[in-house]
Every structure is written in structure tokens, then in C-alpha cells.
């Protein structure tokens, strides 16, 4: 097909990367390089020889080196077009239209579970079109947009978590999963279940955290073994059992919170005899919430747009995702800082200077900690929780890609339904853009370093697409702002209170892809009180 004016189509590029071409130049679509493809199975043989799903992160790194910034794969009849330049990927976002398709649709195990159990509200969260828009619209104000209101709540829970962080009765990786659970339940229902404290946590609460971890890990295995899912083997059975445990617990907890909030709201409305239900006068927090701000469930009840059953069903998948995704990101942050004590010392010094023992309770405090932000950003560059970002469109798209010379740019055509991916293991690990890319150096992302890169090819690593693991655009993770706050607030608290080190200096692990990337095995940590 014909292409429109190149200069116009690629005007999103900065001047340093723009190319010279006439406004009437047309480009013939380029066939991207690819491993050998075979009928039916596509590039699967090459993929398996490289290690398969468990080696996904390294595979995308190696393919970038071998094939360059654009390549294609075909796995199990699914076409993938992989780009490394996020500015090219921006063209996909511009073409999304009113109803973008979310990456969650790709996680077929969860979606099949929702369908099998007729979970209508959960299905809306992974749907397309007006159903998804309705779901997002019902939740966005009280989660995505109102995240700053939860900061004091998160800070309170992080102080509780830090008080028990030095115990050795639980592995540190498990401790972080429980910490993620405690933080997000406090946001969700206005109460931390304190699973990090073995003296307080109930068996049921601990089992929930275990079940969510198992469900996520098993999902990764099922997605790489579709025949197992198709024929209902042991792995599928394990997933179903853990999903049922997880969903039953989360649904019951959130429904109870919604019913309590509804009852309290009725009581206050009756006492006031006003019939008012304005958000600014939310009566629930004054009676029930243990924190300064009403919980997510309380806010939803107060708005009155959803039934308690719908709130419970909506909240359950959010709670599951809020626990595991955040835990994966945190596990890499603490491992990178434990493995690089000089960076940890610099972080502790910044925290002492800025906070001097206090908690983060405002966004302004978060913004006053550039080294902590740089530590988190560098951890994501070096060890992203997932090696690619996936988008799909319901229509064909033509993408223009610059070349290194002043020749015509390349163009690539993707049919509707193609998995269009951004490779997070390409440019962020390329020494052409990042000095010593295999080293953990938070200084790369301090404000002065970012400023120094402006106008150079290396400034591409500061693109928003590389900033965090929660996606971009209209379908960015609903809880992303809360999750980023949790990660930062807990790190500020723990690294003020504790020095975190590897128990064994020569500990070894590899990056293994489950549903997300994790260190396997996760090394044991030693926590010592910071003096």
C-alpha cells in the first residue's frame, strides 16, 4: 500500500534523529529480519533452542544484537513485530482510537477463568469497546487519579512493615510479597492485614498471598505450554485451585468492606438527615477508616454507581495484580541495591538528609528524593519485570522507522491483530546509548545526567516508554500510580531503618521469566539495623 508523506508521518521525532526526505517520497514496506520460519510452528524451534519462555529476557537482548532494532517472530500462529525505538512505538498509541486494546487480553488463563465463572465485571476489565470504557470510568477517579490521597495510608503501613523487617522466619522475597499485600489492602479496604508480622497474620491471609504467587507463576508456565492448558493437565489444575482460593478470599474481603461502608453511610446520612452524598463530605472515613483518607472501596460505595457485589468483583482482580506486580518490581530493586552497597550508601545518605527518619507522607517529599527515584528507574532499566511491552490494534497500521543515514526511512506494515511489541532489552542495554549497560548505576538518571543527554542519541533512554513497568496510554495499569508510590515509600522507610545485604557475597542467580521476570533462585538477604 502507499505511504503518506514521510516528513509529516515521522514529525514526532526530535531534530537530532530526523531525516531528510521529500514530502512526496513514498516508501515500500520493509520485511523485518526474523529467525527461520516454518509452516504452522513459525519461529518456535529457534525460540526453544534459545531457552524458551524462561529465557525470554535474554532472547530479546540477543535478538536485538543479531537482527537490529526491528525484527519479527511467529509463535503458535501469533505474529509479533518487535521495535526497539519507543518513538516508533508512539505511532501505535496515536493510532489506538477511542477503544484501545489492552495487554491483559493476552493473559488467556485469567480471562478463561473469568469466563468459566461468569465474572462479568472482571471480564469488563479485559474487554474492548464500551464495556471496558464503562469499567475504567467507574474506577479511574478513585484509584488512578486520586493516588496522592493514599500516600499517608501507605506510609503508616510501611512503618509497620519496617518494624518486623529484620525477622528471619520468612525469606526476604516472600516478605516483599506480603509487604505488597499489606500496602495494597490498606489502600483497597482501609485496613492492613499485616501479613508481614507473623505474630498478627492469620493463616488465611498468608494462604492468600501464597495462592496469588502460585497463580501468577503457573500462568507463566501455562502460557508457554498451551497444550497443557488445552487438555487440562496438572498445571492447569494447579492454576485453577489457586485462582479459586485467591478470588474467593479477595471477593469476600472486599464485599465485607463494601457492606460495612454502606451501612455506615446509611447511618450517617440518617443522622444528618440531609440525604447528601458529596465526596467532599464523605462521612465514612470519619467513622470507620483507620487512616486519614477513605479507602478505595469506601470511595466507590460513596459514589453509589456500583453495587456491593460489583465492587467486590471489580476489586478482586485489582488486588491480585496489585500484590504480584509490585512485589516483582520491588524484589529487583532490593536485589540491585543489596548487590551494589555503594549505591545503597548514597541512597541512605539522601534519605537521612531529606527525611531524617520521617516517613514520606506527601508527593512533595517524593519529588525531593532524586537519588531514590534514580535507583528505582535504573532497576527497571537493568531488570525490567517484563522484557517487552505489547499492544494490538484492531486495524492495519504502517509504521515509519528512521535509518542511520539520510536515506529513505524504513516502513513496516502490521496487520490488525499483530502483537506489536516494544523491546525493553534493546536500547536500554545497548552500549551505543548506555555506558556499561550491564552495571547498576543510578547516577544515570539523576536530573543533571538527564539534562546532559538532551540533544544526543542517548536521550532516548529517558523516553516515557522506558520509565516504569506499568504501561502507557489509555490502558495504563489502573493502579500504577499507587504502585509507584508504594515502591518508593517502602524503600524510603526500609533503607532508613535497615542495611540490606546479600547473605553470601558470591550468591548466584539468573533472570528467569515466569509471568514476569524474577531472580531464580532469589538470594538470601541479611538485614542489619542502620546506625
Q: End-to-end CA distance of the chain: give it in Å, rounded.
A: 67
Buried b (16+ CB within 10 A) or exposed e, 237-269: ebbbebbebbbebbbebbbebbbbbbebbeebe
Contact 324, 177 (CB under 8 A): yes
Distances (CA, A) of 434 to 106, 338, 377, 440, 460: 31, 22, 14, 11, 10
Closest among 311, 249, 316, 257 to 288, alpha carbons compared: 257
Q: Beta 78-83 vs 388-391: how paired, if at all?
A: unpaired
Residue 112: exposed, middle, or buried by beta-carbon count in 10 A (0-12, 13-18, 19+)?
middle
The tally of CA atoms less than 13 A away on the side-chain side of residue 375 is 30
Distances (CA, A) of 86 to 8, 82, 460: 18, 11, 8
Distances (CA, A) of 183 to 71, 277, 423: 40, 28, 31
* 72 SS3 class: strand
Closest among 218, 220, 170 to 195, alpha carbons compared: 170
Whether the ω angle into residue 521 lies within 30 degrees of 0, i.e. cis, is yes
Closest among 460, 150, 184 to 325, alpha carbons compared: 184
Give backbone dihedrals phi and psi of 62, rounded to 5 degrees, phi first. -65, -40
CA atoms of 391 and 93, how far apart (whole Å): 9
The separation between CA 218 and the C-alpha centre of its own chain, rounded to angstroms, equals: 18
282 is in an annotated binding site: no
Grid coordinates belonging to 298: 469506601
CA trace torsion 358, 498, 336, 483 (10° rounding): -40
Q: Binding site residues for heme, as ranges?
A: 477
Sequence ranges of the binding site? 477
Amino acid at each position: 500500500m502507499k505511504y503518506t508523506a514521510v516528513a509529516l508521518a515521522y514529525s514526532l521525532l526530535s531534530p537530532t534523529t530526523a531525516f531528510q526526505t521529500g514530502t512526496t517520497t513514498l516508501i515500500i514496506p520493509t520485511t523485518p529480519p526474523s529467525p527461520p520460519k516454518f509452516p504452522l510452528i513459525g519461529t518456535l524451534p529457534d525460540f526453544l533452542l534459545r531457552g524458551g519462555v524462561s529465557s525470554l529476557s535474554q532472547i530479546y537482548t540477543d535478538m536485538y544484537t543479531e537482527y537490529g532494532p526491528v525484527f519479527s517472530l511467529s509463535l503458535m500462529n501469533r505474529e509479533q513485530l518487535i521495535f526497539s525505538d519507543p518513538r516508533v512505538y508512539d505511532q501505535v498509541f496515536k493510532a489506538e482510537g477511542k477503544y484501545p486494546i489492552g495487554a491483559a487480553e493476552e493473559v488467556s488463563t485469567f480471562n478463561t477463568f473469568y469466563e468459566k465463572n461468569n465474572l462479568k465485571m472482571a471480564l469488563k476489565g479485559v474487554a474492548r469497546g464500551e464495556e471496558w470504557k464503562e469499567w475504567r470510568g467507574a474506577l479511574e477517579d478513585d484509584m488512578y487519579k486520586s493516588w496522592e490521597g493514599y500516600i499517608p495510608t501507605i506510609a503508616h503501613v510501611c512503618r509497620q512493615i519496617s518494624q518486623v523487617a529484620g525477622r528471619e522466619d520468612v525469606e526476604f522475597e516472600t516478605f516483599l510479597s506480603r509487604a505488597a499485600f499489606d500496602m495494597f489492602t490498606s489502600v483497597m479496604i482501609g485496613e492492613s492485614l499485616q501479613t508481614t508480622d507473623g505474630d498478627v497474620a492469620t493463616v488465611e491471609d498468608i494462604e492468600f498471598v501464597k495462592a496469588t504467587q502460585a497463580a501468577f507463576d503457573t500462568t507463566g508456565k501455562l502460557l508457554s505450554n498451551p497444550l497443557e492448558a488445552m487438555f487440562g493437565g496438572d498445571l492447569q489444575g494447579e492454576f485453577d485451585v489457586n485462582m479459586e482460593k485467591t478470588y474467593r478470599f479477595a471477593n469476600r474481603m472486599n464485599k465485607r468492606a463494601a457492606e460495612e461502608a454502606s451501612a455506615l453511610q446509611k447511618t450517617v446520612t440518617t443522622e444528618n438527615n440531609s440525604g447528601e452524598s458529596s465526596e467532599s463530605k464523605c462521612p465514612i472515613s470519619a467513622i470507620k477508616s483507620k487512616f486519614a483518607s477513605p479507602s478505595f472501596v469506601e470511595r466507590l460505595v460513596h459514589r453509589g454507581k456500583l453495587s456491593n457485589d460489583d465492587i467486590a468483583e471489580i476489586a478482586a482482580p485489582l488486588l491480585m495484580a496489585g500484590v504480584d506486580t509490585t512485589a516483582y518490581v520491588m524484589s529487583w530493586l532490593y536485589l540491585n541495591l543489596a548487590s551494589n552497597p555503594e549505591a545503597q550508601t548514597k541512597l541512605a545518605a539522601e534519605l537521612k538528609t531529606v527525611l531524617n527518619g520521617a516517613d514520606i507522607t506527601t508527593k512533595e517529599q517524593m519529588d525531593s528524593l532524586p537519588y531514590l527515584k534514580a535507583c528505582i528507574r535504573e532497576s527497571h532499566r537493568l531488570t525490567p519485570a517484563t522484557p517487552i511491552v505489547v499492544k494490538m490494534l484492531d486495524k492495519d497500521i504502517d509504521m515509519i522507522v528512521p535509518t542511520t543515514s539520510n536515506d529513505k526511512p524504513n516502513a513496516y506494515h502490521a496487520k490488525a491483530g499483530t502483537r506489536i511489541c516494544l523491546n525493553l532489552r534493546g536500547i536500554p542495554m545497548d552500549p551505543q546509548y548506555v555506558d556499561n549497560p550491564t552495571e547498576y548505576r543510578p547516577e544515570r538518571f539523576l536530573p543533571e545526567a538527564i539534562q546532559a543527554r538532551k540533544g544526543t542519541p542517548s536521550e532516548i533512554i529517558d523516553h516515557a516508554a522506558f520509565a516504569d513497568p506499568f504501561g502507557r496510554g489509555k490502558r495504563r495499569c489502573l493502579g500504577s500510580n499507587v504502585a509507584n508510590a508504594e515502591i518508593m515509600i517502602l524503600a524510603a522507610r526500609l533503607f532508613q531503618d535497615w542495611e540490606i545485604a546479600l547473605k553470601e557475597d558470591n550468591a548466584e542467580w539468573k533472570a528467569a521469566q515466569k509471568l514476569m521476570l524474577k531472580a531464580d533462585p532469589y538470594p538470601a538477604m541479611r538485614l542489619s539495623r542502620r546506625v
